[in-house]
Amino acid sequence: MEHYIGIDIGTYESKGVLVNQLGKILHQHNVPHTLTIPRSGWAEHEPLTVWWDGSKEIIKEIVRYCYDNKIDPVEIKCIGLSSIAPSIVPIDKQGKPLRNGILYGIDTRTTKQIKILNEKLSEAYILKHAKQALTTQAGGPKILWIKENEPEIYAQTESFLSGAGFVIHKLTGKKVIDHYTAASFAPLYDFSNYSWSEEFAEHITDTNKLPELYWANEIVGPLNPRIAEELGLASDTKILAGSTDALSEAISSGSVEIGDLMLMYGSSTFFILNINEMTTSDKMWPNLHAVPGIYSLTGGTSTAGSLMRWFIDQFDDLALTTDERYQSNMKAATQSEVGANGVICLPYFSGERTPLNNPEAKGIFWGLTLKHTKADLYRAVLEGVAYTIRQNIEYMNDLGFDIKRIISIGGGTKNELLIQIVSDVCGIKQVVTENKVGASYGNAFLCHLALNKEADLHGVANWLEIKEVIEPNSYNYQKYTEYYKKFKLIYEQTKNLM
C-alpha cells in the first residue's frame, strides 16, 4: 500500500504526518522551534535548524515508526511540504542560506520598499497587474529590502526560496516554488502568463534569481541518493513542489468547492475563499489554487494564537506547562461575561494585515477599570481576534462573493471557547472536520493526487468526516454587534496615534 509523508513548517512548530492511500493517519510527529525577533517589526526563522533539521527529524521519526510497525519505508512513495509564506531566504551557489529567512506579514520591515515601488510603478498599475496592493505580506518588497540593505548578501544570492522550497532544495537539489506561493511574492508574479514578470522584476531582482514554477501537486524529482540514505528512504521517493501552509490547510479541511471558505486558526488567522474567476482587491490577496482552473481570495490577520501565547507568557506562572496556562485562562475566561465586562482588545500587537493592511497598527486594551480581572482581559483577547475575523468576512461579502460554507481548521479549533466566540461574534456557522492535523495532512493528499491519475481535488472529501458544527448564539450575536461597532470606532479614533 502507498504511504505518504506530509510536512508543514509553521511559525512556532513543524508538523509531520504519515498517511496511507486511504487517508488513514498512522503517525504524527511535531517539532517545536523558535521565532526570532531581532528587532521590533522583524520576524525570522533560521533555515538550517528550523526548516531543515526540523523536517529531517520528522522524517526520521516516521521511518523509525515504520520499522517498529512492520511497514517497509519503501512504501513511502512521496513527500509533500508546505510552509508559512512568503518566507524568503537567499541561498548561494552551494545552497547555503546567506541569512535568516524573512517571514510573512508579521515582519513589517518593508514599508519603505513598498513606498518606493508604489511611487515608481503607481499603486493602480500594481493593483491591475499583480491583482493586489503591496503590503508587508508581499514577498517582492522583502527581496528589495535585502537588495538595498544587505547588498553583499544580494550579490552572493543564487536564488530566493520559500521555507518549503529550501527543504525541497535540500532533498532534491532543485530550486522550485508552486504558483500559489509565487503569487505571494507580489508584484513579481504574472497571473496572465503563470510566470515571473520581467516588467516588475526589473525594479526588484533578476528573474534568474527566482525559482522554477510548478503546480502544488506536481512532482519535482526524486530524493537525492545521499539524502535518501541519511533519512532511511528509497532514492526513488518522489518530492512534490510544495505549497503555502494555508492552501494545504484548506485542502486538508475539504474546502475545495467554489464558495467554500477555509478559516485557519493558528499563530494568526488565515482565510481562503474559493472563487470561480480571478479578481482584484486592494485589501485582500487574490490568488490561484493548488491546481489550474480554481481561484481564491485570501486574507489573514497578524495575530491570533501568537497573542494568546504572549498573554500567558507575560501574566502567568512560567513554572506551569504551556497547556496548564492555556487551560487556566480558558476556564477563567468562561466566567467573564460576553463583551469581557466592557473591555475591548485591539489585537494589533504585530500590526495588522487584511483588511486594514496597517503595519503600524498597535494593540490596545480599552475600557479598563479597577473592577476588571485578568480573566476579562483574556476573554477580550479572544473576542478581539473574533472581531478581526468578522471584518474579513464582511469585506468578502462586500465584494459580492457568496460564502456557501465555512470550514474551520488549525490548532485553534481545539479551543472550544474561542470558536464559539467567533461564531457568536460573526453570526456564522462553522464546520469542523474530524481531522485536526491540518496542512501536513493536506500535503499528504496532494501526494496521493500526484501519484494517482484517477484522483482529483474533490476526492479529499472521501478522506474526511465532519466532527461538529458550531452554531452561533443569536442573543450573543446581538450583544457582540454593539461591541464590534465600538471595536471599529476605537481603531478609527486612535490609528493616527499609532
Give the span between the Cα atoms of 313 and 351, in whole angstroms. Answer: 20
Give Cβ neighbours of residue 45 (< 8 Å, ≥ 6 apart).
Answer: 9, 33, 35, 36, 51, 87, 100, 101, 103, 163
Give the span between the Cα atoms of 422 and 427, in whole angstroms. Answer: 8
295-300 and 269-275 strand pairing: antiparallel
**Burial per residue of 331-351, b for 16 or more beta-carbon CB atoms within 10 angstroms, e otherwise:** ebbeebebbbbbbbbbbbbbb
8 Å CB contact between 396 and 403: yes
User: What's the CATH code, domain 3-241?
Assistant: 3.30.420.40
| Collapsed DSSP state (helix, strand, coil) of residue 379 | helix
Q: What pLDDT sits at residue 410? A: 81
Q: Where are the domains of the chain?
A: 3-241, 254-433+465-498
- Which CATH topology does 254-433+465-498 take? Nucleotidyltransferase; domain 5 (3.30.420)
Give the span between the Cα atoms of 333 and 144, in whole angstroms. Answer: 44
Amino acid at 96: K
Q: What pLDDT sits at residue 467? A: 87
Q: Which residues pair with 420 in a beta bridge?
A: none
pTM of the complete model: 0.84
- Residue 281 sits at the vertex; the CA angle it makes with 291 and 403, to the nearest 5 degrees, is 65
Q: Which three cell numbers stand for residue 433?
A: 472536520
Give the span between the Cα atoms of 300 and 151, in whole angstroms. Answer: 31
| Collapsed DSSP state (helix, strand, coil) of residue 289 | coil
Give the span between the Cα atoms of 190 and 102, in whole angstroms. Answer: 22
Backbone angles phi, psi at 91, to 5 degrees: -120, 155
**Closest C-alpha to 167, from 261, 74, 85:** 85
Backbone angles phi, psi at 163, to 5 degrees: -60, -50
- Other Cβ atoms less than 10 A from the Cβ of 320: the count is 13
Give Cβ neighbours of residue 8 (< 8 Å, ≥ 6 apart).
Answer: 14, 15, 16, 81, 82, 83, 245, 248, 438, 439, 440, 443
Task: Identify the DSSP state of 50.
Answer: I
8 Å CB contact between 394 and 261: no
Task: Identify the DSSP state of 185.
Answer: T
Three-state secondary structure string covering 448-460? HHHHCCCCCHHHH
Q: What pLDDT sits at residue 465? A: 86
- Other Cβ atoms less than 10 A from the Cβ of 190: the count is 18
Q: Which residues pair with 219 in a beta bridge?
A: 240
Give the span between the Cα atoms of 43 and 204, in whole angstroms. Answer: 21
260-265 and 405-409 strand pairing: parallel
Estimate to the nearest angstrom the gap between the alpha carbon of 462 and the chain centroid.
24
Name residues of the chain where pLDDT drops below 50: none
Domain pair 3-241 / 254-433+465-498, same fold: yes
| Collapsed DSSP state (helix, strand, coil) of residue 79 | strand
Q: At what angle do helices 439-451 and 245-253 cross, to 10 degrees?
A: 80
Q: What pLDDT sits at residue 436? A: 67
The gap between the terminal CA atoms of the chain, to the nearest Å, is: 57
Query: Scanning the structure block, which residue is given the C-alpha cell 505549497?
Result: 243
Q: Which three cell numbers stand for residue 140?
A: 517582492
The string of pLDDT tens digits covering residues 189-211 is: 999 999 999 999 999 999 999 99
Give the span between the Cα atoms of 385 and 270, in whole angstroms. Answer: 12
Q: What pLDDT sits at residue 395? A: 96
8 Å CB contact between 78 and 455: no
Give the span between the Cα atoms of 480 and 114, in whole angstroms. Answer: 36
